């Protein structure tokens, strides 16, 4: 019998980009074997998709409840060990909770839930199990992001003074300016997406990244969000001031109406001694800035990088590492945790990160609705 970890997937069928990303990532490092799931709510399309990607159809189930019933009836050495949730946001919480209650490890797309209260319930549920729970803030898997984290935690920047994260996209322009389209996309439907679109979708990536690389928790925020149209119930742009402490501050700028932008995610951290800058669209370059010194560019695969960065580097220097590799590194860390092996805490985001993300989303909306005031995170 294969020694690979048996993986199931919920959602991600058809031409879903996130589905391809997770399937490719899970296949890296030969740690996981996709054995089944529920890829589509239509059973015929579900079976057809499974046949197309080449997995046996006898463990492709008509719905989530059937998957739970059939998989828990299997011997422990045959049942799925971990299940990835790639469905629309409103399904994350009920699926994750039931999976934990039935003894499965969980990999969940972000945002982890649609409310902070749901996130706290998941934390309580997880505490009663020995399960591994990961949230796929994908960009934390990039080798040079991990290098950034290790340099900051190692004190190479000195005391942190300023943090700046920008995540700009323009993809929602064709939808938001069309009244019928904006009324009928699930992304702008609070019942399916939660209370926030832009902050919940990409702002939470920036928030998690800031806390990941600095090793610090944001204490309070002030948000100014943009809904653009009176009949649009969810934000599609926002600027959020953040405070770690009295003298350590920063800003998160997120937009889905930044016309012409594709996936412009940048993170900049400045300390007393030096600064670091990373850009998602050029992920193999980490820029080191120092007063009185020329700009230095650090790249993956070199011996000067940290152990964590090198562990996530698959190719020799000069060969680009991309988003599939980044997600693959997260799956690699999850595999170590499931097998009970030692791993670095920076190898994959956990339920703690997912819960903090939900707190951030709700507090950002609260801050805006109260007239752009400072609010404190838990």
Q: Could you read off the pLDDT tens digit of each residue along the chain, which spans 378 residues?
A: 568 999 999 999 998 999 999 999 999 999 999 999 999 999 999 999 999 999 989 999 999 999 999 999 999 999 999 999 999 999 999 999 999 999 999 999 999 999 999 999 999 999 999 999 999 999 999 999 999 999 999 999 999 999 999 999 999 999 999 999 999 998 999 998 899 999 999 999 999 999 999 999 999 999 999 999 999 999 999 999 999 998 999 999 999 999 999 999 999 999 999 999 999 999 999 999 999 999 999 999 999 999 999 999 998 999 988 999 999 999 999 999 999 999 999 999 999 999 999 999 999 999 999 999 999 999
Query: For residues 196 and 234, is the Cβ–Cβ distance under 8 A?
Result: yes
Closest CA to 306 of 159, 134, 152: 152
Domain ranges of the chain: 5-138, 142-315+350-369
Residue given tokens 């979708």 in the structure block? 201
In this prediction the pTM is: 0.95
The CATH architecture annotation of domain 5-138 reads 3-Layer(aba) Sandwich (3.40)
* Distance (Å, whole) CA 352 – CA 355: 5
Residue given tokens 């080798």 in the structure block? 143
Q: How far is CA 343 from CA 28, 201, 303, in A?
A: 17, 28, 20
The CATH architecture annotation of domain 142-315+350-369 reads 2-Layer Sandwich (3.30)
Q: Do domains 5-138 and 142-315+350-369 have the same CATH topology?
A: no
Specify the pLDDT at position 320: 87
Q: What are phi and psi of 141, to 5 degrees?
A: -85, -10
Specify the pLDDT at position 223: 98
Q: What are phi and psi of 129, to 5 degrees?
A: -120, 180
Specify the pLDDT at position 64: 98
Residue 239, strand partner residues:
224, 253
Specify the pLDDT at position 15: 86
């Amino acid at each position: 019998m294969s020694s690979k970890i048996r993986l199931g997937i919920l959602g991600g069928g058809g031409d879903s980009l996130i589905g391809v990303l997770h399937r490719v990532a899970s296949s890296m490092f030969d740690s996981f074997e996709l054995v089944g799931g529920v890829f589509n709510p239509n059973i015929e399309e579900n079976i057809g998709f499974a046949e197309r990607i080449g997995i046996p159809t006898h463990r492709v189930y008509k719905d989530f409840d059937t998957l739970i019933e059939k998989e828990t009836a299997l011997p422990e050495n045959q049942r799925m060990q971990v299940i990835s949730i790639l469905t629309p946001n409103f399904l994350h919480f009920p699926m994750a909770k039931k999976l934990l209650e039935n003894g499965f490890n969980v990999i969940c797309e972000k945002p982890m839930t649609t409310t902070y209260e749901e996130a706290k319930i998941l934390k309580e549920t997880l505490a009663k199990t020995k399960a591994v729970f990961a949230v796929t803030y994908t960009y934390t898997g990039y080798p040079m992001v991990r290098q950034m984290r290790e340099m900051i935690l190692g004190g190479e920047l000195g005391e942190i003074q300023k943090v700046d994260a920008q995540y700009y996209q323009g993809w929602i322009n064709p939808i938001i300016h069309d009244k019928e389209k904006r009324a009928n996309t699930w992304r702008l439907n609070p019942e399916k997406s939660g209370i926030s679109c832009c902050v919940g979708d990409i702002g939470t990536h920036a928030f998690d990244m800031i806390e990941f690389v600095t090793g610090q928790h944001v204490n309070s925020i002030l948000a100014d969000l943009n809904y653009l149209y009176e009949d649009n119930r969810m934000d599609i742009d926002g600027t959020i001031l953040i405070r770690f402490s009295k003298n350590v501050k920063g800003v998160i700028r997120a937009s889905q109406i930044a016309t012409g932008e594709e996936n412009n995610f940048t993170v900049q951290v400045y300390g007393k001694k030096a600064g670091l800058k990373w850009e998602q669209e050029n992920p193999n370059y980490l820029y080191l800035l120092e007063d009185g010194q020329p700009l230095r560019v650090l790249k993956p695969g070199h011996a000067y990088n940290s152990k964590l960065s090198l562990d996530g580097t698959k190719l020799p220097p000069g060969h680009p590492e991309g988003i599939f590799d980044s997600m693959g590194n997260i799956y690699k860390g999850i595999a170590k945790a499931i097998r009970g092996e030692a791993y670095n805490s920076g190898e994959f985001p956990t339920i703690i990160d997912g819960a903090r993300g939900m707190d951030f989303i709700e507090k950002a909306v609260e801050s805006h609705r109260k007239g752009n005031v400072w609010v404190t995170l838990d």
